[in-house]
Amino acid sequence: MYDILSNDANCFIDNEEVLASLSYGKAVASDPTSIADILEKAKTYKGLSHRSAAALLEVTDKNTLEEIFSLAKQIKEQIYGRRIVLFAPLYLSDYCINSCTYCGYSKNNYNPIRRRLTIDQLKEEVEILEKLGHKRLALEVGEDPINCPLDYVIDCINAIYSLKFDNGAIRRVNVNIAATTKESYTRIKEANIGTYILFQETYHKPTYLLNHPKGPKHNYEWHTEAHDRAMESGIEDVGFGVLYGLFDWKYDTIALLMHAEHLEASKGIGPHTISVPRLRSAEGMRQENFPHLVSDDHFKLLVAVLRIAVPYTGMILTTRESPDFRNELLAVGISQVSAGSCTGVGGYADSKKQSSGQKRLTSLSQFEPADHRSPSEVIKSLLSGGYVPSFCTACYREGRTGDRFMDLAKTGNIADICQANAVLTLKEYIEDFGDTELRELGESIIQSEIYSMSNKNIQKETINKISQTAKGTRDLRF
Ligand code: SAM
């Protein structure tokens, strides 16, 4: 039975409640007045229940769809301004004891050169990433306690934070590692991570079991209750995600919102981020063989509905999507994107070697990216679209995590600070990595952002910090 406060995944993601919400959504969506009421309520920026969101997912009428997109855009711009946070994934190890049907790292994929980065190889990767201007990483590993134990991951996190090449620095390390014990979560927390990210893949239990036929990931409850354990171990910022394409997108979107409501009700803090990975072809699998692939139109709708339903949760989009479609999705809710990503272990050094004519190691890619632009190209495209690329990592380093972050975000008190930090980190990027075109585009956005600042004290201090940054000081922040 549905129980939002239960510790049991089968109760806080109760299948009957998801199905009832789907039916409720269908019934409500046939009545235009009810949809108008839901949209009116959403204009207060207080979010929506999973049942109201279910109704919006059913909308097919063109004009109402436009209303949903324009409301999502309005909410996004009100809360996040024009800022887009940038990050890169870093794959540490492709050893895996699971056999996920969709993943290139599945143990069923025979590959004689499974890899785990040595500390020297890690240094090479970090040097390249820092020289691309990245400040925020998402660490990715397959699950294998023998070949990739937690001690190794923690050593890597410590090494990454300590490695500084020229003006570069990785200032926030988020981690995407398999569901684990409370003891391990405590250790990860102590390693000073940013967000703990774990994708549910699908909330539909029979489909989950089918797609995770062997290995520890087969345990649906262990996986689905992982964020609870992480939070109970002191990790305040956790990230969710559905792997769209495994099961019905409406079912999974409703269940994801129920999961967010569960954390909010039982822990007092909802998810810090929601990722929306969509299935891509990978070693050993073709996406065409999966029966629930999500069309672009449906994908755009679900992104917009998530934006409206959980306005204060960051939304992450990766290079699984093409450049043009990424631009379209930025407008309806995405607030963080990855750029210049490699999805294989040692991928950054490998690509560099390949482009300089050296022999490239053919390591496994977890999936095939659809956006192959460099970070600099992504940043130019964002700037040309009027966005403010941000490398900000200030919140968690200033202790603004969990409910402290959410309270500031919900009262709107964080917007001025975020805007200033975005501008400062963009200035750093321009100074350290910008060519003439990037400087021109970037300086003009910086000027207009500073001009638009409503808090005059912050505006004055930002101008001051910008001039110090131009003179070579780094890591100035609010
Ligand atoms: N081992 C960790 C776990 O079990 O959660 C991390 C998994 S992996 C490094 C990160 C994510 O990539 C997965 O959770 C999955 O959602 C996504 N992924 C795997 N294969 C994919 C594919 N073929 N297309 C798109 N995304 C994929």
Q: Which long-range contacts (CB under 8 A, 24 or more apart) does 177-180 make?
A: 177/139, 177/141, 177/143, 177/153, 178/98, 178/141, 178/143, 178/216, 178/217, 179/216, 179/217, 179/219, 179/222, 179/223, 179/226, 179/229, 180/150, 180/226, 180/229
> Helix axis angle, 249-267 relative to 50-57, nearest 10°?
160
> In this predicted structure, which of 43-47, 353-357, 391-395, 452-456 has the lowest mean pLDDT?
353-357
**Which atom of ligand 1 is least distant from the CA of 176?**
6
The model's pLDDT over 167-222, given as tens digits with 9 standing for 90+, comes to: 999 999 999 999 999 999 999 999 999 999 999 999 999 999 999 999 999 999 99
d(CA 287, CA 271): 28
Q: Whose CA is nearest to atom 11 of ligand 1?
A: 199
pLDDT at 56: 98
Task: Say which residue, 80 or 199, is predicted with more confidence.
Answer: 199
Query: Which of 103, 278, 322 has the most ligand 1 atoms within 8 A of CB, as the residue to mutate?
Result: 103
Q: Whose CA is nearest to atom 21 of ligand 1?
A: 103
Using CB atoms within 10 A of its CB, is residue 404 exposed (0-12), middle (13-18) or buried (19+)?
Answer: middle
How many A from CA of 275 to the centre of ligand 1? Answer: 11
How many A from CA of 458 to the centre of ligand 1? Answer: 40
Q: Whose CA is nearest to atom 25 of ligand 1?
A: 279
Query: Which of 98, 102, 108, 287 has the most ligand 1 atoms within 8 A of CB, as the residue to mutate?
Result: 102
**Which atom of ligand 1 is least distant from the CA of 199?**
14
d(CA 366, CA 94): 8
Q: Tell me the mean pLDDT in the region 47-60.
A: 98
Q: Whose CA is nearest to atom 16 of ligand 1?
A: 243
Check whether 409 has a pLDDT greater than 90. no
How many A from CA of 130 to the centre of ligand 1? Answer: 24
How many A from CA of 88 to the centre of ligand 1? Answer: 15
Per the prediction, the chain carries an average pLDDT of 94
d(CA 233, CA 323): 38
Which 3 state secondary structure label does DSSP give 313? Answer: coil
**Amino acid in position 302:** L
DSSP state string for 138-183: EEEE---TTTS-HHHHHHHHHHHHH---TT----EEEEE-----HH
pLDDT band at 359 (very low <50, low <70, confident <90, very high): low
**Which atom of ligand 1 is least distant from the CA of 280?**
24
How many A from CA of 114 to the centre of ligand 1? Answer: 16
Sign of CA dihedral 403, 405, 407, 409: negative
d(CA 157, CA 83): 27
How many A from CA of 20 to the centre of ligand 1? Answer: 29
Q: Tell me the mean pLDDT in the region 36-60.
A: 97
pLDDT at 403: 83
Please give the DSSP secondary-structure letter assigned to residue 387. Answer: -
Query: Which of 208, 273, 292, 366 has the most ligand 1 atoms within 8 A of CB, as the residue to mutate?
Result: 366
How many A from CA of 38 to the centre of ligand 1? Answer: 34
pLDDT band at 127 (very low <50, low <70, confident <90, very high): very high
**Amino acid in position 185:** Y
Check whether 89 has a pLDDT greater than 90. yes
- Of 319, 325, 294, 336, which Cα lies nearest the Cα of 370? 319
How many A from CA of 271 to the centre of ligand 1? Answer: 18
> In this predicted structure, which of 75-79, 156-160, 264-268, 323-327 has the lowest mean pLDDT?
75-79
How many A from CA of 435 to the centre of ligand 1? Answer: 35
Q: Tell me the mean pLDDT in the region 213-241.
A: 97
Q: Tell me the mean pLDDT in the region 426-447.
A: 96
pLDDT band at 415 (very low <50, low <70, confident <90, very high): confident
How many A from CA of 224 to the centre of ligand 1? Answer: 15
d(CA 159, CA 174): 14
pLDDT at 363: 65
Q: Whose CA is nearest to atom 20 of ligand 1?
A: 103
The model's pLDDT over 308-351, given as tens digits with 9 standing for 90+, comes to: 999 999 999 999 999 999 999 999 999 999 999 998 999 999 88
Residue with tokens 């050169």: 113
How many A from CA of 103 to the centre of ligand 1? Answer: 6
**Which atom of ligand 1 is least distant from the CA of 217?**
4
Ligand 1 pocket list (CB less than 6 A): 102-103, 140, 142-143, 176-178, 198-199, 201, 217, 243, 277, 279-280, 282, 320, 366-367
> In this predicted structure, which of 160-164, 171-175, 393-397 has the lowest mean pLDDT?
393-397
pLDDT band at 358 (very low <50, low <70, confident <90, very high): low
DSSP state string for 193-246: -S-EE---B-S-HHHHHHHS-SSGGG-HHHHHTHHHHHHHTT---EEEEB-BTS
Q: Whose CA is nearest to atom 18 of ligand 1?
A: 103
Check whether 452 has a pLDDT greater than 90. yes
For residue 269 the two structure tokens come to 């803090």
**Which atom of ligand 1 is least distant from the CA of 103?**
20
**Which atom of ligand 1 is least distant from the CA of 143?**
1
